Amino acid sequence: MTTHANELAVDVRGLRKQYGDVTAVDGIDLGIRRGEVFGLLGPNGAGKSTTVEILQGNRTRDAGEVSVLGSDPASGTRAWRSRVGIVWQDESAPAELTVRETVRHFARYYPRPRDPEEVIGLVGLEAKAGSRIKSLSGGQRRRLDVALGVIGDPELLLLDEPTTGFDPAARRQFWDLIRLLSEEGTTILLTTHYLEEAEALADRLAVVAQGQVVAEGEPAALRGRYGTEATVEWTEPDGVPRTERTDTPTRTVAELMHRFDGEIPGLKVTRPTLEDVYLRLTGQEDAR
């Protein structure tokens, strides 16, 4: 295998997928660099899982060019598959096996797997290593899914809503795992509904809505590009609350200072959060 430093790990142009009348993916372009953590954000039904499944070669596409680690997933070989780790949105491991048996079993499918005990530790399942899968909680099962996604020591890891069902501590532990894998050079694509997760982990992210990319870039840049307008709130002397949206909040506050000649009652200046930007981009602004 030849690796080109500037070669994209994932290169998608004009991807389309139709299910009957439903256009699930409507002309998506994505470029994920090697070593990058890339977040795919979007509301329910946006086309995230469909895209991830096409990248893994598990679903056919109707149109578009797709290259994943230099191969077209539609004709991916077994050797290619072993270089791609995946955590599906809906996973089901055999219920009667223990965690350790399952991780060891899956390790045998790969030419150069990670150490099963190490992986069990990485996902925080040491205490459950000898337990049957059917006895695990939902979040513990999800951790096992993540373990099975990384056991083959993949070059590219595709994670479809990996932290759904995780408690806050498990989510933090998962974030640490993603950072560790990223430091080791793994390219990671993750879909998520959690803005703070995308912001914490992703070098770049794409927001998809109705099968199209509506915004793409570094999380901070996205917020800067779409979220410049600030909101200034204060209370008038007669007790009436006022709100003003403005690109120049400093000027507004200066004017208020002049007018009030002292403290401005109830003064608050807020910038849109990434979540505000996200809801606006995906047309869900009224959901707040």
Ligand X SMILES: Nc1ncnc2c1ncn2[C@@H]1O[C@H](COP(=O)(O)OP(=O)(O)OP(=O)(O)O)[C@@H](O)[C@H]1O
Residues engaged in binding ligand X (CB under 6 A): 19, 22, 24, 42, 44-50, 89
Site string for Mg ion, 77-96 (x = CB under 5 A): ------------x-------
232, 246 contact by CB (below 8 A): yes
211, 222 contact by CB (below 8 A): no
Question: What is the separation of C-alpha 288 from the centre of its chain, rounded to a whole number of angstroms?
Answer: 21
In angstroms, give the least distance from the CB of 21 to Mg ion.
19
Residues 170-199 that bind Mg ion (CB under 5 A): none
Closer to ligand X by Cβ: residue 47 or 124: 47
164, 142 contact by CB (below 8 A): yes
In angstroms, give the least distance from the CB of 79 to ligand X.
28
- What CA–CA distances, in Å, run from 247 to 40, 58, 273, 275? 29, 46, 15, 19
SS3 of residue 287 by DSSP: helix
CA distance 146 to 131: 17
Q: From the list Mg ion, ligand X, none, pick the one residue 124 interacts with, judged by a Cβ distance below 5 to 8 Å according to partner type.
A: none
Taking CB atoms, the residue at the shortest distance from Mg ion is: 49
In angstroms, give the least distance from the CB of 27 to ligand X.
14
Q: Which DSSP category does 71 fall into?
A: B
Q: From the list ligand X, Mg ion, none, pick the one residue 282 interacts with, judged by a Cβ distance below 5 to 8 Å according to partner type.
A: none
Residues 14-53 that bind Mg ion (CB under 5 A): 48-49
Which residues of the shown chain bind Mg ion in the complex (CB under 5 A)? Answer: 48-49, 89
